[in-house]
Structure 1
Amino acid sequence: MAAGRPDERKVVRMPSPEPAEELTAELVVDGVAAVAPAVSPDGRLVVYGVVGNEGTSGAIWVADVGGSGDRRRVADGVGRGAVPKWGPDSGAVFFVSGPFVPGSSVSGGEEQRLLRVRVDGGEVGEEVGEPEVVGEWRGGVSDHVPLLDGRTVALLAADEREDGVKVWGRHLPPDRLRLVDLESGEVRTVDGLGDRHVVAVAQRPDGGPLAVLSWATRELDPGVLTAELHVVDAVTTAVRELGPVGVEAQAPVWWSRDGVWHLAHLEVTPGHLVGGLAVVDSAVPETGPAGEPRNLTAGMSVCPAELEQVADGPPLALFAEGLDTALYRLDAESLRFRRLTGGPGLLAGLTASRSGETVALLASTAYEPKNVHAGPAGGQLVRLSDTRPELRRIRWGVQQRLGYRASDGLALDGLLIRPAGRTGEDGPAPLVTLVHGGPYDRYADAFALNAVDCGQWLASAGYAVFLPNPRGSSGRGHAFAATVAGRVGGEEWTDVLDGIDLLVAEGVADPERLGIAGWSHGGFLAAWAVARSDRFKAAVTGAGISDWGAQAGTGDWGILDAALGGSTGWDGPGPHVHDRNSPLAYASAIRTPVLILHGEEDTNVPLGQAVHFHRALRHFGVEHEFVVYPREGHGLEERAHQLDALRRTRDWFDRCL
């Protein structure tokens, strides 16, 4: 294993030298966050949401793109669904208010309202109107898209679900495409899509038809495997079929080339169930079949993360580049994406004005949480929101970029957070490795502080924290991400070990005081670590997979989890590939104390994964604690549960390390 590459190892961003205050669990969970920025079509204003813990204090704000410091709250009490959208005249903002959380299941009797608030004049200082209800829906609204005629809003809304027995396959009502007439209140449902679940809508920038992306069912498996594109006339509701698209297809955008309209979208690299996202494009003539799809990001060593439609040109995109993020634009001649500008850390939530000259997004760096930034595409962006100024009083652990090589020579990256108030001259510290989920995710050189991403929380208690990006992560192209297919716990695990070995060799980590933790796929790797190694003195597995065969049969992602684990349990009596990739198969070797955390209503990684792991540890007499959080899904939403997880995790490492 080679030492870190000088160009990456030397980048150390220091936290603010301001007076320090103690980081408490309450400070971690009780702040607010900026979400869902949107630039007005004329490029002068940005609207965004601000949500608090448990989504109970949602508000909508408008700010001037120029960063004058003027901000105006235009709506309160909108809950977590604070996703504002501009009307085409840049004079009104639409949003959905109600109890429904996008992406959650829908229960009968819930009512959501589509509201409009006037922000006329295009200046923040001018008066705004009171929000007015322009539509209501029982059953849940997952998205809304104001159309360019100024009279219609497209809703992605489910039928109201009746209580009673659940007939599998019909137990989750699909989101249907509804068109709301703002003057009459009339709602038309696009019947030509049948019972397909609509996941995304984009109107052609000339005011023409809608591109509609749908799945055969709302269920992730087989939904993400059955995506199709359609073109819908917003006036007649006539539907034109464009045919199937790839796995996990998302974010359709229109653009024009040589007088012909194209549709591009994101999907897993064609031909693969596991791997990096790609931008796939097809010509869509006015009549006749769509053109052959073309992968516009083939061979790139970075990963597209977001795709944004621009009315007057080709689309913009955000790309994950190792620990950083960059803004790209599609070149219409070469049909390749060209880099406009990059920034350290994380960029997300990209939106653009109609001309594409102005963008807004969420940006975060090592010690600054995500806030709304806006400005010229490819130019300097100005911060418009400041959601957590209280965190500037905290003395953070120094966050350092790591570049190193795996034992087979592959270049890798990650982050090291040193214990708060300590430097490299203070000698080795206890080290906790936090493995991210996914596995197609990554650690960017950004600020992350919550009940799951708790690196700074542990650093404030004296721990060094290692945040690795092993094979399977995003940010280094498709081939890097696809390595884990059928091989979870293989090279991705040795990549993590190689990073730990480097930190031990450089005197950062005490080899006798190593811990490991993670959530979701990170929880799997934490369980795998103690099943395959005796180096760790403590582990925390959050919503982790212990048996890949059972996960393929019961988890939300189904066959895609089987592609990671390597097989299913229904293709013969075995031996199965997934057995050798499952921590349960090696439970008899575990000696490390393990803290197991899991949500009781998790359907992504069902609770049975944790129950089975707990019983195996109990059978072999392994010290462990098993904690189940009622009402929680794959993450932790309730404040009391977040506080408990933070304190319990740190107490576990304090006791064992």
Structure 2
Amino acid sequence: MPHPEPTDPLTAELVVDIAAAVTPAVSPDGRLVAYDVVAHGDAGGNAGGGAGGNAGGRPSGAILVAAVDGSAAPRRLTDGAARERAPKWAPDSAALFFISDREEEGSAQLRRIRPDGGEDTVETLTSRRGGIVGHCPLLDGRTVALLAADEPTAEDERREAERDDAKVWGRHLPPTRLRLLDLASGVVRTVDGLGDRHVVEVTQRPDGGPLAVLSWSTPELGHGVMTAELHVVDPGSGAVHDLGPVGAEAQSPAWWKHDGGWHLAHLAVTPGQLIGGLAVVDTVPPTTGPAVEHRNLTADMSVCPTELVQVADGPPLALFADGLDTALYRLDPETLRFQQLSKTPGLLAGLTASRSGDTVAVLASTAYEPKDVHAGPVGGPLARIGDTAPELRGIRWGVQERLSHRAADGLQLDGLLILPVGRARDDGPFPLVTLVHGGPYSRYADEFALNAVDCGQWLAAAGYAVLLPNPRGGSGHGHEFAATAAGAVGGDEWTDVLGFIDLLVAQGVADPERLGIGGWSHGGFLAAWAIGRTDRFKAAMMGAGISDWGAQAGTGDWGILDAALGGSNGWDGPGPHLHDRNSPLSHAARIRTPMLILHGEQDTNVPLGQAIHFHRALRHFGVEHEFVVYPREGHGLEERAHQLDALRRIRAWYDRLLRTRAGA
């Protein structure tokens, strides 16, 4: 439950400066867990071991290590003065590898540290121009697989110096290649058999055998995720065995052994689909030639796999989104079905396991506890071993309730309601702000989320009730639930959201005269869509949202996947196009609700043009709105000053427009 009495005010600075634990890694022997803690420039250290930060206001990170059994408090291994991340253990658990841009900001290099030492034991193992983007220590203890682009040539440097830098599209992004670092000599050799394919993940077979490598045809995201292939690579000879194409958004290759033979599983969108729930897909790599059979191990499940992790001595483990909660499963090798081991309220993420699979660590969050490192036996219970943000215990939170609602067509839906701080349902009706999640293949778990994007408790502290609905199209209810978004955005998902609002109005929680709506990314789209369908909302906020699905398919990172959501693209003929019907821009003439538009200037996921076009339409029709662009930001906000601005601006927008009624 939330803290019974307020002791400290919730300020924008506190929200932005919360340190966050990320990417835990259990040591192979199961005794220790390492993780990195990320914070912003002015966050400073705290009792939980927060990162130090940098003067530019972008996040930096420190590496911490703790005993899995909680016998020793977390201890910093690095000082957090740089962005240090992605800890991974040596196979003997005696050293820890991680990536750091300490030598040159923005150029990450591989470093190694002893867990029983400190900064004085750090070794820098690479000095590649352009840095590295990933690493995987191999089981021989002598080699680390690296993911890195080619270093710039003398000609590249000349062209850059002389600004002779025309970009040939399709060749303007250098592919990341698989390379093998010999720790004794420092020599790095490149696996040439993958050609110019862009390598995105690598996992070694648990017996020290070949590597499973996932690659794309190009680093361009939208086309890359559609052209993924699996390969088996011999780390000794560099020989490559191509297993052939895999599904959309393929990720997380994991080896497992059964009846003397090796299987290779991975996550991907349900086979044969572009839009829908993720599935665990399995194959038995043949001795030669491509894989001929890919089996969906999660078919017909009403939950959605989110992470897949291999272990040495058994079948893989997986996390599943299960409504508002998260469950841990293990594959049954006999039935080839996943069996639930435990279910936890709220969110679990970042699953990592010891070599035997007996010990696991995760990031866990519940309604009033932010994500922190929890560890223990695979069957549970898991105990919290991190204390990353102790300053939050002095804050009183709005009560967070679980909601259940049956849509008009009978589909069961869930969501969350956050009541104003210090208030109960009987104190209503309240001004209600509905925040729609992104994706749409995402969800609200019953977790604590407090940042510039997920700002429910920030608004609750200002006296608002906040609705966090999970409409169809999202995760947590199986493939069919998620697949309904294909070509139908703004349809049933919008009526799902409206149904939740009507429910809270009928229950006396929401004041029908003081309704607001907002969201980021797909949530921003749905906010813009909502105010083109109804005048019920008195204020709206669109963060990095889509206003024109045709332009999004043509210019956004995800390309054809956005076209599948919007229903069509602009090169299918003169129209009418389905994506026009599904675009908020097409309904701008109906809008009367004041709109706040926030967008990152360097966003390539949802390009800035989406916001500019919508701004011009609102200006044309005389709709009150405010359009804010954040320099240097992509599809979200990283810089501290920008996050502070967004939090204050969003609250001020709703305050001005939803508190005009007497007594508000």
Aligned to 1:176: 177
2:325–2:446 contact (8 Å) kept in structure 1? yes
Aligned to 1:65: 68
Determine which of 18, 24, 38 is the counterpart of 1:31: 18
Aligned to 1:412: 413
1:84 aligns with 2:87: yes
Distance 1:339-1:109 versus aligned 2 partners, 3 A rule: closer
Aligned to 1:116: 112
Determine which of 18, 31, 34 is the counterpart of 1:44: 31
After superposition, what is the alpha-carbon deviation per residue over 1:515-553, rounded to whole angstroms, capped at 9, x for unaligned?
000000000000000011111000000000000000000
1:459 aligns with 2:460: yes
1:281–1:296 contact (8 Å) kept in structure 2? yes
After superposition, what is the alpha-carbon deviation per residue over 1:88-136, rounded to whole angstroms, capped at 9, x for unaligned?
0000000111179xxxxxxx9964321111236xxxxx77861111222
Aligned to 2:48: none
Aligned to 2:254: 253
Amino acid in the other structure paired with 1:27:
L
RMSD: 1.5
SS at match of 1:136: coil
2:243–2:289 contact (8 Å) kept in structure 1? no
1:130 aligns with 2:129: no
Q: 1:56 Cα shift?
A: 4.4
The whole-number CA distance in structure 2 between the counterparts of 1:606 and 1:113 is 30
The whole-number CA distance in structure 1 between the counterparts of 2:543 and 2:563 is 20
SS at match of 1:148: coil
Aligned to 2:134: 143
Structural mapping, 1:387-466, within 5 Å: 387-466=388-467
The whole-number CA distance in structure 2 between the counterparts of 1:346 and 1:636 is 22
Aligned residue pairs, count: 632
Q: 1:78 Cα shift?
A: 6.4
Amino acid in the other structure paired with 1:567:
S
Distance 1:559-1:389 versus aligned 2 partners, 3 A rule: same
Structural mapping, 1:47-446, within 5 Å: 47-53=34-40, 54-77=57-80, 79-98=82-101, 111-119=107-115, 130-160=121-151, 162=156, 163=160, 164-287=165-288, 289-446=290-447
1:609 aligns with 2:586: no
The whole-number CA distance in structure 2 between the counterparts of 1:539 and 1:65 is 45
The whole-number CA distance in structure 1 between the counterparts of 2:70 and 2:292 is 43
2:415–2:470 contact (8 Å) kept in structure 1? yes
1:109–1:160 contact (8 Å) kept in structure 2? no
SS at match of 2:128: strand
Distance 1:19-1:583 versus aligned 2 partners, 3 A rule: closer
Q: 1:289 Cα shift?
A: 4.5
1:261–1:285 contact (8 Å) kept in structure 2? no
Structure 2: runs of 5 or more not aligned: 41-56, 659-664
2:109–2:131 contact (8 Å) kept in structure 1? no
Distance 1:414-1:56 versus aligned 2 partners, 3 A rule: closer
2:416–2:444 contact (8 Å) kept in structure 1? yes
Aligned to 1:5: none
2:597–2:611 contact (8 Å) kept in structure 1? yes
SS at match of 1:532: coil
Distance 1:575-1:60 versus aligned 2 partners, 3 A rule: same
Structural mapping, 1:614-653, within 5 Å: 614-653=615-654
Amino acid in the other structure paired with 1:112:
A
The whole-number CA distance in structure 1 between the counterparts of 2:82 and 2:549 is 36
After superposition, what is the alpha-carbon deviation per residue over 1:464-487, rounded to whole angstroms, capped at 9, x for unaligned?
000000000100000000001000
SS at match of 1:62: strand
The whole-number CA distance in structure 2 between the counterparts of 1:437 and 1:80 is 27
2:323–2:445 contact (8 Å) kept in structure 1? yes
The whole-number CA distance in structure 1 between the counterparts of 2:423 and 2:356 is 49
The whole-number CA distance in structure 1 between the counterparts of 2:310 and 2:543 is 37
Q: 1:18 Cα shift?
A: 4.6
After superposition, what is the alpha-carbon deviation per residue over 1:337-358, rounded to whole angstroms, capped at 9, x for unaligned?
0000010000000000000000
Q: 1:287 Cα shift?
A: 4.5
The whole-number CA distance in structure 2 between the counterparts of 1:344 and 1:546 is 35
SS at match of 2:519: strand
1:78–1:98 contact (8 Å) kept in structure 2? no
After superposition, what is the alpha-carbon deviation per residue over 1:376-434, rounded to whole angstroms, capped at 9, x for unaligned?
00111111111111111111100000011111111000000000010011120000000
The whole-number CA distance in structure 1 between the counterparts of 2:438 and 2:94 is 41
1:34–1:387 contact (8 Å) kept in structure 2? yes
1:78–1:96 contact (8 Å) kept in structure 2? no
The whole-number CA distance in structure 1 between the counterparts of 2:432 and 2:462 is 11
Distance 1:605-1:258 versus aligned 2 partners, 3 A rule: same
The whole-number CA distance in structure 1 between the counterparts of 2:615 and 2:501 is 27
Aligned to 2:46: none
Q: 1:71 Cα shift?
A: 2.2
2:241–2:288 contact (8 Å) kept in structure 1? no
The whole-number CA distance in structure 2 between the counterparts of 1:61 and 1:144 is 19
After superposition, what is the alpha-carbon deviation per residue over 1:494-534, rounded to whole angstroms, capped at 9, x for unaligned?
00000000000000000000000000000000000001111
SS at match of 1:63: strand
SS at match of 1:135: coil
Amino acid in the other structure paired with 1:117:
I
The whole-number CA distance in structure 1 between the counterparts of 2:59 and 2:637 is 15
Identity of aligned residues (%): 75
